[in-house]
Amino acid sequence: MGSSTSEDMFMLSSDSSDEEDDLLFKVAIEEEQIGAQGRRRHRGSVPGHAVIDRGHQEGAARLFQDYFADMPVFRMSRPLFLRIAAAVENHDPWFRQGRDAAGKLGLSPLQKMTAAIRQLAYEVSADTVDEYVRIGASTARLALRKFVQAVVRIFSEQYLRATTAEDTARLLAIGEQRGFPGMLGSIDCIHWVWRNCPKAWHGAYTGHTRKPSIVLEAVASYDLWIWHAFFGMPGSLNDINVLHRSNIFSRVTDGTSPPVSYTINGNTYDMGYYLGDGIYPEWATIVKPISAPRGNKSMYFSAKHASVRKDVERAFGVLQSRFTIIRGLARMWDESTLHNIMTACVIMHNMIIEDEGTGPDVDEVFDYMSEKATARRNPDQAVLKYIEVTEAIRNRALHHQLRDDLVEHLWSRHGAH
C-alpha cells in the first residue's frame, strides 16, 4: 500500500479538530518528503543521527539544587568541591561554559566536574551519568580524563608532597606516643584489577590475583594521610619487587630527607622506619612482625605491631570507599589515564582529610617528649655516598637489632602500665 498524499490525509481528517488537522497535515508533508528523497532527512551533523536535546539548563538547575544548595548531597564538603572546581576551571579552559554554533549555552563547569566525580565516587559508567547530569557518554569520559589530569597537575605538589622537617617531627612524636619511636608510617601494596588490559600484556600484569592488575604502593600515617603513592607496576610483581623499583627511599639515598635521630633501649639510630607485613625484606628502614612469636614480650610486640600497621590498611579502605572506581575493575585502556585516576583519588583523599580537620597542621609546633623523637632541619653535613646509604638501608643486622630494641621498649612501657 502506497503512502498517503497530503490531500488524502486532509480529507480523512475532515471531522477532526483544527489542531489535529494541522498535525496530520505536517505528518503527511514529512512522509512525502521522505519518499521523494528515498532516505531520512539529515537532522544532525552525522547523516541519519537525530539531535538530542539533553536539557542542559534543566540539568544544571537540578544539579545545583541537589549538590550546592543549603542541604547538599555530596561525599565531600561543598567548599572543598567548589575550591577544586575553581582551580580546575582556571587551569583548563575546556571546563568553562560556552555556546554552540546556534548560540545555545553548553554544559556548565559544575556539570562537567560532577560527571567526573560521580564516575570516580560511584564507579558508574559514562552513559549512566547522562540521566542525571544531562551529559553524553563520550563527553563524560572526556570530562573524567581532563578532570583527573588537572587535579594531578594542580594539587600534586601540595597533597602528594614528601615529608618536610615539620611533618617528620610530628610523625616521630606520634610514633613515640604509640610506642614506636622513629616510626614514619606503615607501608603496604594493593592491586587494582585491570579489566581492559591488552591481551598481549596479560602475562606481565597477571599475578596472585590471577587477573591482570596494577599495583599501588603506599605509606600512610595514623591520620590516614597518604604520604607516598607509587602506582603503575604490573601485577605480576609482589610487594618486594615493587619496593625495589619504587622511589620511597630516594631522598634518603641522595641526602635530601630530613635527618632523624632517636634512641631505643640505649641504641641510637639515624634513619626512620616504616611498619610492614611479613613479606617485606629485613631492612633497617622496615620493621616486620615476628613470624612465630614466643614468649610474652614477642607476642606483645606482634600484637602492637599489627595494631599500628593497620593504619595503611584503614587508609586503603577509606580511599576505596570514597572512590569506588578503584575498588572495582579498571575499565580504561591506557596506563596513563589509570595512573592519573589513582593519583587524583589519593590527592582528593588527602584533601578531604585536611578539610575534615584530621590531617597534618603545618602551623602546629611539636615539643619533643624525649631525645627518642627528634628531627633536625637542613644540617650541614657531608652527604653519604649512595652505595653506603643503600647498604645501611638494607642492613639485616640493624633490622634485627632495631626490632629487638622495640620489643624491649614496648614491654617496658607495658610493664609500666
CA distance 135 to 128: 9
Same domain, 284 and 410: yes
Same domain, 278 and 390: yes
* Range 39-49 average pLDDT: 53
pLDDT number for residue 33: 54
* Range 356-378 average pLDDT: 49
Q: Which domain holds residue 4?
A: 1-51
Pairing label, strands 273-275, 213-220: unpaired
Same domain, 148 and 223: no
User: Exposure of 47 by Cβ count < 10 A (0-12 exposed, 13-18 middle, 19+ buried)?
Assistant: exposed
Kindly state the cell numbers that stand for 274: 616504616
> Is 160 in contact with 347 (CB distance < 8 Å)?
yes
User: Exposure of 74 by Cβ count < 10 A (0-12 exposed, 13-18 middle, 19+ buried)?
Assistant: middle
- Number of domain units in the chain: 3
Same domain, 23 and 137: no
Local confidence band at 70 (pLDDT 50, 70, 90 cut-offs): low
- pLDDT at 7 > cutoff 80: no
CA distance 220 to 172: 13
Write the pLDDT tens digit of every residue in 271-282: 999 999 999 999
CA distance 394 to 30: 80
In the block, cell 633501649 appears at 265
pLDDT number for residue 15: 47
CA distance 73 to 65: 9
pLDDT number for residue 351: 95
Same domain, 206 and 68: no
Local confidence band at 96 (pLDDT 50, 70, 90 cut-offs): very high
From residue 108, alpha-carbon distances to 57, 76, 87, 89, 243 in Å are: 8, 20, 15, 10, 43
Same domain, 5 and 115: no
Beta bridge partners of 262: 269
The listed range with the strongest mean pLDDT (2-6, 22-26, 366-370) is: 22-26
Give this prediction's pTM.
0.79
Same domain, 152 and 231: no
Local confidence band at 103 (pLDDT 50, 70, 90 cut-offs): confident
pLDDT number for residue 49: 60
Extended beta strands in 198-301, E state: 213-220, 226-234, 260-264, 267-269, 273-275, 286-287
Beta bridge partners of 183: 273
pLDDT number for residue 281: 96
Same domain, 317 and 174: yes
Domain boundary among the residues 130, 159, 188 is at: 159
Same domain, 143 and 259: no
Give the residue, 185 or 46, on which the prediction is more confident: 185
**What average pLDDT does the structure give for the chain?**
82
Kindly state the cell numbers that stand for 210: 590471577
CA distance 221 to 268: 23
Same domain, 6 and 95: no
Same domain, 144 and 6: no
* Range 265-288 average pLDDT: 96
- pLDDT at 29 > cutoff 70: no
pLDDT number for residue 304: 96
- pLDDT at 184 > cutoff 70: yes
Domain boundary among the residues 143, 159, 175 is at: 159
Domain boundary among the residues 129, 159, 189 is at: 159
Instruction: Mention every residue, 6+ apart, whose C-beta is less than 8 A from residue 415.
Output: none
Closest C-alpha among 133, 159, 157 to residue 144: 133
Write the pLDDT tens digit of every residue in 209-224: 889 999 999 999 999 9
Write the pLDDT tens digit of every residue in 310-342: 999 999 999 999 999 999 999 888 999 999 999
Same domain, 148 and 172: no
